[in-house]
Amino acid sequence: MMVILPKRLFHTLKIISMEDRHEILGGEFDVDIQGLKYRQPDNSQLEGVFKYASGRSALYYILLDAKERYGVTQVLFPDYLCSSILVAAKEADLDVVFYPLNTALELDEKSFANLYDEKSAVLLINYFGLKDLSSQIAAIRTINKAAIIIEDDVQAYYEFIKPLNSANYKFTSLRKTLACPDGGLVKTEYTLGNATASNKFHQYKLAGSILKSLRQPEYYDDEVYLSMFEKGEDMIDAEIAAGMSEMSSEILSKLDTDRLGIIRKRNARTILSGLESLGIAPILPVSEDAYPLFIPIYLEDRKKVRKYMFQHNVFCPVHWPLEGMNVKKGAEMAEHELSIIVDQRYTNRDMEYILELLEKSIK
């Protein structure tokens, strides 16, 4: 049973004052290098998976395999997605066709049937880790029982680690959800191609993460570690064929993902309770067994709210900026969607602070 916070509870408690807040909430993860020395490795999460440099690298190798194995010539993408996905299709030399989504962020079956052909691979995105994709997979299988289906679990690591079910492939990105500088993982029944040597961009991501973890206002400016993140980001596309670093393998083997999942669930409950008191519904239902990375909300004046929160050191991302894409649902969401951060880095106090900012910003 979800406990609903009385309206304005986060004001009356005065958990943390906005004026005294200096730490930035959001952005890329920092890495506790010293803490890794004291943890015992458990490689179970890396068993039976193929390891690549990034999420787009993982998709690239999936598409290469589908192209060679099944003669795929095009890939059907939903019209709400991250532009980095298009890089994988371009590098695999596959045509891209966008299929429309409904208000539940699921494929429109009639429109999809008109777009599908037997030389297509189909990408389904587990949006925010909150979608059960089984009904959409079943709908595609009614069109073609042998359809090639790819499950995108980039925002759904806790779904990725479950066994492969009715999709042909599924993949995730470690750096988007855990304190790893790189890494894209694939699960499939097939044998995929091997990556080239380990990527180089992870060195800059790792350097930025370490600097961020050690940062104090009197030590150095935010721009110092942000420049490392940016340099690494600029290299990712060029290293799409590269492999995952040993550093990320070590970090993943030493993370207590069960504990991290519990923290996410706790933070999500706090945010959901506060949102209900504010009369704001999440874009998608959040089940009790979900491990959200974000709670997505729809705001008429999203730019105003996001600007206000950033002015108070809270960076809530947008999923996703259009980056020149001509996608109908993506254009709508790029204008109105805001992702409330609830990941494992944050406390109940942080969640209350976010709710306080949100209430003030929507007045």
Give the whole-angstrom CA distance, residue 183 versus residue 189.
20
Q: Look at residue 338 and give its three-state secondary structure.
A: strand
- Amino acid symbol at 125: I
| pLDDT for the residue numbered 20 | 53
Give the whole-angstrom CA distance, residue 346 versus residue 363.
25
Give 187-216 pLDDT, tens digit per residue. Answer: 999 999 999 899 999 999 999 999 988 877
Element (H, E) at 263: helix 257-278
Q: Specify which residues 172 forms β-bridges with.
A: 185
Tokens standing for residue 111: 């429109």
Q: How many residues does the chain have?
A: 363
Give the whole-angstrom CA distance, residue 322 versus residue 278.
29
271 and 342 Cβ atoms separated by less than 8 Å: yes
**Pairing mode, strands 148-152 and 169-173:** parallel
**Which pTM was predicted?**
0.92
Give 127-162 pLDDT, tens digit per residue. Answer: 999 999 999 999 999 999 999 999 999 999 999 999
Could you tell me the CA-to-CA distances from 90 to 47, 55, 57 in Å, in that order? 29, 15, 12
Whether 8 has a pLDDT exceeding 70, the answer reads no
6 and 278 Cβ atoms separated by less than 8 Å: no
CA-wise closest residue to 169 among 291, 37, 299, 69: 69
What's the rounded mean pLDDT across residues 301-319? Answer: 96
**CB-count burial class (<10 Å; 0-12, 13-18, 19+) for 285:** exposed
Confidence class of residue 3 from pLDDT cuts 50, 70 and 90? very low
Tokens standing for residue 248: 């990320």
Q: How many CB atoms lie within 10 A of CB 227?
A: 15
Give 315-335 pLDDT, tens digit per residue. Answer: 999 999 999 999 999 999 999
Helix pair angle (348-361, 257-278), 10° resolution: 30
The residue written with tokens 């947008």 in the block is 318
Domains of the chain from N-terminus onward: 9-30+256-361 (3.90.1150.10), 45-188 (3.40.640.10)
